[in-house]
Structure 1
């Protein structure tokens, strides 16, 4: 069981207690909030996930959350943004957390970051009308009724994209992608106990080999509007 499952178990127990105390009206409100439309996009490094997510948000006139999440978490934890970025989508061991906490008063433990990440992400999902990129958002919001998308491409294709658009040599691009892919996979495994490459965790998986960002965005928009035919009434 990952840390997220443990947090959710506690949250479910609290929710059950609230519903018992407040009655059926609260439960009806919870169901209404649960249906608010939003999109999460998970991506392999170099697959084009970021430009695709931005295009989708722009076309729907939704808010786009990527690095903005870091600002929000930094504000909640009252820590400098650079400290939160050092944790973002990376796994860090318990031993390092313990050692660093003794010597660095500004240190943010991985579990603290994760709790705030969950809190911020759930709040955004409840509000709806947003696109959330990465950070295990599809796992955090799996009970909130959004559209969950995964962007992938063959490794060499992704290396080519990275070299072409970010100015790296093909060898540098491959090393960079391997590093980022491992960090993201380890992050998801540590905190959610899941494998992000498992297609069963998504409503839609798009392979961007030979598919431009604009075309991929249109596929997502079509799926979104099919899943949420009344999405505009929530604006």
Structure 2
């Protein structure tokens, strides 16, 4: 591990407690082994809940907004600036993010350099569920199991209305904006279409599956996948 990754490792270890390279074996129970799991989602599809359930079932660390803090630590700036930077990055700006940090512009390639570094550090330590930020495009195919959570538009609208107490039209607008930003980010950063099913090992529709059922499906598939530890 490179020396300049030490600060990132220490920061992540201080914010997420499940960092052992091998999971402790429970009495009478074999160790469950799985590759690093990346999970992306359509807004309102309950993807974050599924990610948490997957992490809980496997005893893995869950990395979502922790990644923002780790990038901020790596770049030596405030996490609120990174959150704003990501919001601008996802809005479709192609040349650079209009985020003035200590009298210097933070260009897209600088942000991506730190994002890639943080994701790779997390993956190298293992036992992780990484949510969003194109992690499945950053990590080699053989080192991750990629899942995507989807649901019909009207169900997602209903979920957003319930979660945020929003009116239907407001919920639709929220979903549309977030979808556009996510598609723009993946297109600009990786030249990929986030909706292409070939980029994922499994795609699950939460209109048909409960959160626990979706999580179990991902865990089962990841543990038995060809790139799972110990699986030839």
Please confirm whether the aligned pair reaches a TM-score higher than 0.5, indicating the same fold.
Answer: yes
Q: Which runs of 5+ in 1 are unaligned?
A: 1-34
* Equivalent of 1:53 in 51, 58, 63: 51
What is the Cα deviation at residue 231 of structure 1?
4.8
Contact preservation (8 Å) 2:151, 2:207: yes
Q: Which residue of 2 aligns with 1:82?
A: 80
Secondary structure in structure 2 of the residue aligned to 1:206: strand
* Equivalent of 2:183 in 182, 185, 206: 185
Quickly say closer, same or farther: Cα 1:53–1:142, change in 2 above 3 A: same
Q: Aligned pairs, how many?
A: 197
Higher relative helix content: 1
Contact preservation (8 Å) 1:83, 1:108: no
TM-score (norm. length: structure 2)? 0.77
TM-score (norm. length: structure 1)? 0.76
Q: Which residue of 2 aligns with 1:93?
A: 93
Aligned mates of 2:207, 2:80 — CA distance in 1: 34
RMSD: 2.5
Secondary structure in structure 2 of the residue aligned to 1:88: helix
Q: Which residue of 2 aligns with 1:140?
A: 138
Secondary structure in structure 2 of the residue aligned to 1:73: helix
* Equivalent of 1:195 in 193, 196, 203: 193
Aligned mates of 1:100, 1:127 — CA distance in 2: 31
Q: Which runs of 5+ in 2 are unaligned?
A: 1-32
Q: Which residue of 2 aligns with 1:174?
A: 172
Secondary structure in structure 2 of the residue aligned to 1:93: coil
* Equivalent of 1:63 in 51, 61, 64: 61
Contact preservation (8 Å) 1:91, 1:190: no
What is the Cα deviation at residue 112 of structure 1?
1.1
Aligned mates of 2:224, 2:37 — CA distance in 1: 13
Contact preservation (8 Å) 2:143, 2:227: no
Secondary structure in structure 2 of the residue aligned to 1:149: strand
Structure 1, 221-230 or 119-128: larger mean CA deviation: 221-230
What is the Cα deviation at residue 210 of structure 1?
3.3
Aligned mates of 2:121, 2:51 — CA distance in 1: 19
Higher relative strand content: 2
* Equivalent of 2:123 in 122, 125, 130: 125
